[in-house]
Chain A
């Protein structure tokens, strides 16, 4: 065990691509943990993470810093996820630290995620260590960036300038961590073990590995432990630290960070934010702040024929190392048996569906994402509805509420008007407008999440030429005048096309949807009517005219082989079609149809 005075627990808050992982690489090299020439961005291990340049799972690494004089220090660097979808995981990782490096790219300046995460770090009471990165680049403007940071922090803290790429300034940063971040505070009078779980991952060979920060008491090998949130009890098979590869240790004491391997086989039993204590002498209260993960975005996943069992197995396996992901069986008249799945956000959803495709080889129909609406019935019953199909008849509904988010946009001043217009279009309510510098503006909005999950980010990027950045987190539910717009294809309602939409926009939505489907549904042997309806009221109608001709010309000079190959190709294409009653549609029509608005 290390004396708390010799420990520094830190994390890095930064916008995506501002160089967080590269800085971690340099720190690991400098402390001798890694030899130069290792794989870049060591901490981002999952293939998908590296491909997308983001960190999905937090990880913690321990390094030994030896100052020029005095005793060595243990520095635990806790890597936080870099995307809005994982803001709860970020907040738990922050709780495990006493200090945060505020890392800003000198070529980009302060961005939305920088600000959002900084606010979280300040709320968590962390010592902030502002750092400007990428000073080696010709486009770097460290002075302007420094001005923005000072504005944000409201003071003239000393800012360290580094190049994570070349390593310049990193030794000074290490010294500053020791000097300017406080050591863990330890309640010496409280002997009860409290270990905050700030991450938990599933390892196919070792089961669930939980990453913990001990706040009080000690944990020793082989102890019987209890997870205070889930009540689950198990025994420890290994205690260790990541340096950066797993290294077993005897025990972890107050202020220390490490991992525990237990008999748990499912990450849902060891959730992020939970507190581990000793089964024999449990702490009277956990580390505050634990909550169940709250899926914000829902979608239906439907397998190809005969792959239902495969999909269920794949979802089970995915759930083993992603506690934030939930799923339940669902039946669609149009698509058959599938699952309704809840995700933290759109990126989380994309990652999960991509993994289902890539790692499990599944071809899925993915229905349009929706948020969870609060529904209060006239008889007083309340429920959450996360599938348009589950929305009760309008007559039975007393009130619908929808989730809002607090959104933070940072944009060059030139685009303020464009951003405000977009947010207004999306039913947003401005809560703040502040100039970070004469050129850059911070805008805060309350926005319905349901508006954000379609194309808000794309729109924001296109209206600001890619310069604006966005961060948001769930706030509250508010009453909203929502209606369900149904779509009928050839007189048959197609549940997979139904959407819950604000009443003011329902006509526009319905018309756009019908037009879009008209383009997406191939011509059949008969006229196909496409109708959008609210209840029994038709609000839009389009017709896909019957096809009149498909026949190909002659088979010249007796080349029958070619004709047959042509037909065989057509037949293969046909086999992939999905059947909506009598109407054949391509399988991607479900997701494509719902990328409809504004186009």
Chain B
């Protein structure tokens, strides 16, 4: 790969987007597959933590030094993720939603998402979210098969999940997402089909389908190592993804990223920030940021421990645990590795805007190779994955 450009534009200027991620790490119970920064049994810390979040949002402490935040960019999406944000009392979410606009300019019509577990919401709570300014809810449904839910370590059942999706609509949410997991050992085509159809019966605007992964350090990975869990064969996992593609498409949801389907206009803007190498500030324990600097940009992450996070913020210190500079070479690579996950792929124009050189110029050989191997289509103006499930194979050429 060759590059010729020295100064890089800010993604926020090119894309016109900027995200704010807020991490709420509390859970009632940890699921067997989960390796996110989430904690069960930390209830006593909730109040202090939520106060710290508000303080952090105001002062921008979670951003690394060197990040260009002198003039606070206009926020086009807010994502309250976890953990289980719906686990904390609704007043905390209201407090947070009150505080954000005082510290960050929020664009009119900005997308504001909160992640919820089906068992920790009710109509009252959802209505309070809506009134506080949240306009999108995302439910961790995962499956509509009670046996498989247990196997994943989820504490809700299918009826509760369906009820939650309905309640959100009744409460007035038009943007509702359901997260599903496929490739769970024991999942058959029939159970997977039933989950997809059941969810679509509630007419969500958005569905995410993720293949189960065995992450180091999770109970599920340990059971697999001990031979207690037999992972599904890759071919069967692939077939389940293909079934989702068919069924969701028939229901009018279009795939805009490898794992994400949405009704036209309902794609998750915050999610898209990640795939377009956009900028975002992540506040809260373990949150990640990607922010422009004077030369290029920086990726950073906050300390994982909620206790330490609270202590840092209350002491007025930056809770940043680590960071790495993204130079032009890395930006070019990330633009491909992440951008190829999007259905529309990467256009030469878009690439040129953020990298300062054309696709052909930077990745001519790699593109030709990817095309020769049948992984992508490349017509000189845009490159797209031909086989989304082999996305890593393509990404490797640009990594």
Question: Interface on A for B, CB 8 Å cutoff?
Answer: 525, 545, 547-561, 563-564, 567-568, 570-571, 574
Contacts and interface: CB of A to CB of B under 8 A. Distances in A.
A552 B21 contact: no
Nearest to A523: B234
Question: What 5 A-B pairs have minimum CB-CB distances, sorted nearest first?
Answer: A548-B238, A567-B399, A551-B391, A549-B238, A549-B389
28 contacts: A525-B374, A525-B390, A525-B393, A548-B235, A548-B238, A549-B234, A549-B241, A550-B392, A550-B393, A551-B211, A551-B388, A551-B389, A554-B259, A555-B338, A557-B21, A557-B282, A557-B287, A558-B21, A558-B273, A559-B301, A560-B288, A560-B299, A560-B338, A561-B288, A561-B299, A564-B334, A567-B396, A571-B399
B274 interface: yes
A558 B396 contact: no
B259 A553 contact: yes
Of the candidates B23, B288, B290, the one having the most CB atoms from chain A within 10 angstroms of its own CB is B288
A262 B112 CA distance: 89
B26 interface: no
A77 B373 CA distance: 67
Nearest to B299: A561
Nearest to B23: A557
Interface in B206-259: 208, 210-211, 213, 234-235, 237-238, 241, 258-259
B238 A560 contact: no
A564 B393 contact: no
Contacts of A567: 337, 392, 395-396, 399
Contact of A558 (B237, B280, B393): B280
Nearest to B388: A551
B81 interface: yes
Contacts of B280: 558
Contacts of A555: 274, 338
A570 B374 CA distance: 20
Contacts of B389: 548-551
Of the candidates A549, A563, A574, the one having the most CB atoms from chain B within 10 angstroms of its own CB is A549
Contacts of A570: 392, 396, 399
A355 B393 CA distance: 37
Contacts of B213: 552-553
Contact of A574 (B234, B374, B396): B396
A561 B287 contact: no
Contacts of B391: 550-551
A549 B243 CA distance: 14
Given A525-B375, A564-B334, A553 B396 contact: no
B246 to A, nearest CB: 15
B163 interface: no
B396 A549 contact: no
Interface residues of B, number: 44
B392 A558 contact: no
Given A548-B238, A567-B399, A571-B399, A553 B211 contact: yes
Contacts of B274: 555, 558, 560
Nearest to B288: A558
Contacts of A550: 234, 389-393
Contact of A557 (B36, B211, B299): B36
Contacts of B349: none
B13 interface: no
Interface in B308-347: 324, 330, 333-334, 337-338
Given A551-B389, A563-B337, 7 more contacts: A550-B234, A554-B210, A557-B36, A557-B286, A558-B280, A560-B338, A567-B399
A551 B374 contact: no
A549 B338 contact: no
A559 B299 CA distance: 9
A552 B258 CA distance: 10
Contact of B324 (A547, A548, A561): A561
Interface in B291-311: 299, 301
B235 A545 contact: yes
B392 A548 contact: no
B81 A557 contact: yes
Nearest to B280: A558
A551 B258 contact: yes
A571 B394 CA distance: 11
B262 to A, nearest CB: 15
Given A549-B390, A551-B392, A560 B290 contact: yes
Interface string B97-114: 000000000000000000
A548 B242 CA distance: 11
Contacts of A553: 210-211, 213, 259
A549 B294 CA distance: 40
B241 A564 contact: no
A557 B83 CA distance: 11
Nearest to A566: B392
Interface string B378-399: 0000000000111111011001
Contact of A552 (B235, B273, B373, B392): B392
Interface in B356-383: 373-375
Contacts of B301: 559, 561
A358 to B, nearest CB: 32
A551 B390 contact: yes
B308 to A, nearest CB: 18
B21 A548 contact: no
Interface in B158-203: none
A205 to B, nearest CB: 50
Contacts of B210: 553-554
Contacts of A557: 21, 23, 36, 81, 282, 286-288
A558 B330 CA distance: 16
A562 to B, nearest CB: 9
Contacts of B258: 551
A549 B288 contact: no
Contacts of A525: 373-375, 390, 393
